[in-house]
């Protein structure tokens, strides 16, 4: 259903683009609008990943720099049947992450440094699984197309207003041209928001299934949403058009940021993940009786969690706080948490030895 809804929304945005071109420039204007849209999307198709990564100064890392992070991404990619995406690190204290790339073979997952600092490893697995789901379902391309079309509609509507659409014979008139220039971008933004929200719910669901425990992702969303309001991301604040890429809206939460939010309400997302956990036989109430891992340094206060909150401690506990119970374990293939040369081995979040 979500895939069909996305297709209908994108078709509607394309139709809106052509209608704006027709109203402002007649058949010739519609043709120009179509050529403009095709050109913009071709450019975005080939360059969206590099543009997004450069915008936040993301740097690609390897296993030597962050073995746990790279291993976790590799395991989730294997479970999803995907090539391992590039892993990039963004120097930002705000816990957040996004995926980009035109297809699974050219994908990257960018993780803010604050994500590993504030989340447990299980919660981070939930976030990575969410982003892996975006890659698997090619949402990164879908969202790029939606954002490009929305920007193109805004551009052509304003060009039509300033370059004489209102004076064209049988044209809409100057007042109507101004109305189109105002209303068309708003309509495109609303459609883009609908596309983004639909894809986020789907990525939550499939990401919760991929990591094996939707409660990990639910707990992560609660922490990230709380921290995003308290810890601004200066790079994204200067480029708000990038906000839809992140797992949680990275903007600080002012009225302007929330008026046209591209993300669903976090509480609704958490509620859906708790229901999914129940469908998978994972009980949030029994999980609440398990000792929670000690928070990492600078962990945000508040946020939803199914786990009993411990007293503050300076270091993070690396073990699985569910002990692997009720979690779908990866079947077959190498275990990236097994002992590697020089690292002594790391705990397996799925409870395997």
> What is the spatial distance between Cα 135 and Cα 207, in angstroms, rounded to a whole number?
11
298 within domain boundaries? no
338 within domain boundaries? no
For tokens 């609303």, name the residue: 190
Q: What residues pair up with 87 in beta bridges, in sequence order?
A: 61, 109
- The domain tally of the chain equals 1
* pLDDT bucket at 181, cuts 50 / 70 / 90: low
- Predicted local distance difference test score (pLDDT) of residue 279: 93
- Predicted local distance difference test score (pLDDT) of residue 253: 56
92 within domain boundaries? yes
Lowest mean pLDDT among 45-54, 88-97, 131-140: 45-54
User: Which of the pair, 158 or 289, is modelled with greater confidence?
Assistant: 158
332 within domain boundaries? no
299 within domain boundaries? no
User: Which of the pair, 27 or 245, is modelled with greater confidence?
Assistant: 245
Q: What is the pLDDT of residues 187-225, one digit of tens each?
A: 666 666 666 777 899 999 999 999 999 999 999 999 999
* Joined tokens for residue 100: 């980009």
pTM of the prediction?
0.72
Active-site residue, selected from the candidate residues 131, 279, 294, 318: 131
> What is the spatial distance between Cα 265 and Cα 194, in angstroms, rounded to a whole number?
13
Lowest mean pLDDT among 40-44, 185-189, 195-199, 301-305: 301-305
| Structural domain harbouring 252 | 2-287
129 within domain boundaries? yes
106 within domain boundaries? yes
Is 122 catalytic? The answer is no
> What is the spatial distance between Cα 17 and Cα 37, in angstroms, rounded to a whole number?
8
């Amino acid at each position: 259903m979500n895939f069909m809804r996305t297709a209908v929304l994108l078709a509607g945005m394309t139709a809106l683009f052509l209608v704006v071109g027709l109203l402002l420039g007649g058949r010739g204007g519609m043709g120009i609008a179509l050529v403009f849209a095709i050109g913009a999307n071709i450019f975005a198709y080939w360059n969206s990943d590099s543009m997004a990564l450069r915008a936040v100064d993301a740097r690609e890392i390897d296993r030597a720099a962050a073995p746990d992070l790279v291993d976790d991404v590799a395991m989730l990619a294997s479970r999803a049947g995907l090539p391992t995406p590039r892993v990039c690190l963004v120097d930002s204290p705000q816990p957040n992450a996004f995926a980009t790339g035109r297809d699974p073979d050219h994908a990257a997952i960018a993780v803010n440094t604050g994500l590993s600092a504030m989340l447990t490893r299980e919660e981070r697995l939930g976030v990575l699984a969410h982003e892996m789901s975006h890659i698997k379902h090619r949402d990164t391309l879908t969202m790029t197309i939606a954002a490009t079309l929305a920007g193109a509609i805004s551009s052509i509507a304003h060009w039509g207003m300033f370059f004489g659409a209102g004076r064209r014979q049988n044209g809409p008139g100057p007042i109507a041209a101004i109305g189109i220039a105002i209303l068309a971008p708003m309509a495109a933004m609303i459609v883009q928001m609908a596309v983004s929200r639909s894809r986020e719910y789907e990525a939550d669901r499939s990401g919760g299934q991929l990591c094996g425990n939707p409660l990990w992702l639910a707990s992560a969303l609660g922490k990230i949403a709380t921290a995003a309001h308290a810890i601004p991301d200066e790079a994204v604040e200067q480029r708000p058009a990038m906000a839809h890429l992140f797992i949680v809206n990275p903007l600080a939460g002012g009225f302007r940021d929330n008026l046209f939010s591209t993300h669903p309400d976090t509480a609704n997302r958490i509620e859906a993940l708790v229901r999914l956990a129940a469908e998978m036989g994972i009980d949030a109430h029994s999980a609440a009786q398990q000792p929670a891992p000690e928070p990492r340094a600078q962990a945000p206060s508040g946020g939803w969690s199914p786990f009993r909150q411990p007293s503050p401690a300076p270091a993070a506990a690396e073990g699985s706080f569910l002990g692997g119970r009720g979690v779908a374990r990866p079947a077959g293939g190498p275990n990236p948490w097994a002992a590697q040369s020089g690292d002594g081995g790391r705990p397996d979040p799925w409870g395997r030895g």
